[in-house]
């Protein structure tokens, strides 16, 4: 259903993705595994139209080309992204966050059915519909983020590290829910550090390193592959890859990431220490960059030619959405003087 060929993305002189090709079928769950900085987030952003891809890049859904489309048009064609950090509107209620997911033309006529589907998948959201989203736990916020994406009536759901920051117990629930979503026919493209659990629910997987696909297979074959086990299924906290090995004194030449032992102490001591330290510096740098740029999470900070800064777009989108919410609230207040006896699920979330 989703097919991408030769996706190439550069940030200035840095080539983050090089001729990446992936596909996700109806109801299929595909996982992208890769080290920090491998290009996983960039791949999802490119498919969602949040970063611009090179001219030879081609991607389509149901045979309809998406190349060069704006992000909101890509949502209209049936692709929803749950970004890293969730990207929910913290000051809005659960109900309002879900309602915003159905803002697009594609979703409006299916709003009630999709709301029922989301509340059946996450019954807790029904109990908490009036709660301000930022006061919810991490796991509950993740439910809101996935719920909101499903409200856009997607054919393909893309998720960037959904298990990040969740307890092991909540991770089990999360992956179970994703499996259920897949069974409803929605294709899922999942980026995950939790290789073990994501391979367990996936049909297929891709290995992405240094911006290129270096392997793909069924999830069960990948889980059984000793090289994959060494690289991704060992102690995740100690995973060391070539992408991490950069220090102020220069790059350290290490073997292919897939052949690295998961225990860094099996490397020369100096290389292992530098690798871990460099990984930490890299993550801290990315975190600082993200924090410095005030924006609703989930919006890329990069500039898409012809669209202006994405931060500006995010600001404008927030203003439009807030105006929409205010109008809905005002309409509700007027409507409450004349209560409608026929209650629909949509009324339900608004109350
Ligand atoms: P992680 O698991 O750490 O989130 P990732 O696999 O998702 O990593 P990306 O975030 O896609 O990796 O980054 C791929 C490469 O592109 C990295 O080297 C990163 O530093 C670089 N990169 C990402 N975003 C930008 C940006 N806005 N400007 C410049 N370089 C960027």
Reply yes or no on whether the pLDDT at 246 is more than 50: no
Distance 37 CA to ligand 1 centre (A): 5
Give yes or no for residue 14 CB within 6 A of ligand 1.
yes
Residue 335 C-alpha to ligand 1 middle, in angstroms?
48
pLDDT-derived band at 268, boundaries 50, 70, 90: very low
The reply to whether ligand 1 has any atom less than 6 angstroms from the CB of 304 is no
38 lines ligand 1 (CB under 6 A): yes
- Our answer on whether the CB atom of 77 is closer than 6 Å to any ligand 1 atom is no
Work out the angle at residue 64's Cα, subtended by the Cα atoms of residues 60 and 70, and round it to the nearest 5 degrees: 70
Mean pLDDT of the chain, nearest integer: 79
Distance 237 CA to ligand 1 centre (A): 19
Going by pLDDT thresholds of 50, 70 and 90, the confidence category of residue 272 is very low
With a 6 A CB cut-off, is 7 part of the ligand 1 pocket? Answer: no
Residue 96 pLDDT > 90, yes or no?
A: yes
Helices (H), ranges, 65-202: 71-76, 94-101, 105-108, 111-121, 123-127, 138-151, 168-183, 195-201
Residue 12 confidence (pLDDT) above 80: yes
Among 100-104, 232-236, 322-326, the range of highest mean pLDDT:
100-104
Rounded Cα gap, residues 242 and 239, in angstroms:
10
Query: Cβ distance 24 to 189 under 8 Å?
Result: yes
Kindly tell me the burial class for residue 284, based on how many C-beta atoms sit within 10 Å of its own C-beta (0-12, 13-18, 19 or more): exposed
Token pair in block for residue 17? 């993705």
Q: What does the pLDDT look like over 165-213, one tens digit per residue? A: 888 888 999 999 999 999 999 999 999 988 999 999 999 999 999 999 9
Centre of ligand 1 from the C-alpha of residue 39, in Å: 6
Distance 22 CA to ligand 1 centre (A): 19
Q: Give the residue, 193 or 123, on which the prediction is more confident.
A: 123
Give yes or no for a contact between 132 and 91, defined as CB atoms under 8 angstroms apart: yes
pLDDT tens, 25-74? 999 999 999 988 999 999 999 999 999 999 999 999 999 999 999 999 99
**H or E element at residue 29:** strand 29-33
How far apart CA 340 and CA 252 sit, in angstroms, is 69
Q: Does 40 contact ligand 1 (Cβ within 6 A)?
A: yes
Cα(344) to centroid of ligand 1, in Å? 44
pLDDT value of residue 108: 87
Partners of residue 217 on adjacent β-strands: 205
Pocket test residue of 17, 34, 40 for ligand 1, highest count of atoms within 8 A of CB:
40
Closest approach atom of ligand 1 to CA 300: 27
Give the mutation target among 10, 12, 15, 16 for probing the ligand 1 site: most ligand atoms within 8 A of CB: 16
Determine contact, residues 302/310, Cβ cutoff 8 Å: yes
The residue whose CA has the least distance to atom 19 of ligand 1 is: 37
Which residue is closest in CA terms to ligand 1's atom 3? 36
Closest CA to 59 of 12, 14, 24, 11: 24
Is the CB of 242 inside a 6 Å radius of any atom of ligand 1? no
- DSSP characters over 218-256: EHHHHHH-HHHHHHHSS-GGG---GGG-EETTEE-----
Q: Residue of the nearest CA to atom 4 in ligand 1?
A: 36
Does the CB atom of residue 11 touch ligand 1 within 6 A? Answer: yes
Cα 40 to ligand 1 centre (Å):
8
State pTM to two decimals: 0.71
Angle at 19 between CA 17 and CA 21, to 5 degrees: 100
Element holding 191 (H helix, E strand): strand 187-191
Could you read off the pLDDT of 108-120 as tens digits, one per residue?
A: 888 999 999 999 9
| pLDDT band, very low/low/confident/very high, at 229 (cuts 50, 70, 90) | confident
In 3D space, the residue among 58, 50, 56 whose CA is nearest the CA of residue 3 turns out to be: 58
CB of 239 within 6 A of ligand 1: the answer is no
User: What is the distance in A from the centroid of ligand 1 to the CA of 87?
Assistant: 18
């Amino acid at each position: 259903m989703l097919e991408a060929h030769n996706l190439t993305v550069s940030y200035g002189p840095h080539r983050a993705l090089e001729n990446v090709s992936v596909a996700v079928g109806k109801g299929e769950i595909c996982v992208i595994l890769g080290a920090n900085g491998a290009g996983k987030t960039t791949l999802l952003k490119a498919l969602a139209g949040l970063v611009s891809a090179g001219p030879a890049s081609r991607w389509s859904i149901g045979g309809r080309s998406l190349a060069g489309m704006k992000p909101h048009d890509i949502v209209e064609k049936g692709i929803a992204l749950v970004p890293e950090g969730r990207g929910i509107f913290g000051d809005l209620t659960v109900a309002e966050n879900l309602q915003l997911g159905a803002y697009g033309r594609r979703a409006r006529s299916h709003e009630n059915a999709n709301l029922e589907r989301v509340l059946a998948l996450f019954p807790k959201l029904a109990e908490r519909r009036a709660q301000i989203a930022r006061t919810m736990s991490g796991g509950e916020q993740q439910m809101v983020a996935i719920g909101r994406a499903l409200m856009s009536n997607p054919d393909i759901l893309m998720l960037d590290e959904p298990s990040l920051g969740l307890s092991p117990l909540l991770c089990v629930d999360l992956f179970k829910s994703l499996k259920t979503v897949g069974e409803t026919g929605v294709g899922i493209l999942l980026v995950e550090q939790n290789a073990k659990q994501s391979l367990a629910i996936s049909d297929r997987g891709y290995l992405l390193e240094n911006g290129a696909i270096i392997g793909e297979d069924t999830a069960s074959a990948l889980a059984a592959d000793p090289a994959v086990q060494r690289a991704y299924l060992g102690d995740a906290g100690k995973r060391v890859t070539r992408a991490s090995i950069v220090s102020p004194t220069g790059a350290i030449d290490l073997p292919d990431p897939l052949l690295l032992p998961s225990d860094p102490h099996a490397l020369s001591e100096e290389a292992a220490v530098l690798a871990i330290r460099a990984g930490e510096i890299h993550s801290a740098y990315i975190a600082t960059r993200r924090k410095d740029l005030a924006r609703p999470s989930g919006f890329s900070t990069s500039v898409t030619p012809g669209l202006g800064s994405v931060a500006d777009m995010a600001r404008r989108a927030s203003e439009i959405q807030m105006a929409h919410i205010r109008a809905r609230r005002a309409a509700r207040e007027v409507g409450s003087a004349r209560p409608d006896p026929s209650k629909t699920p949509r009324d339900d979330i608004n109350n």
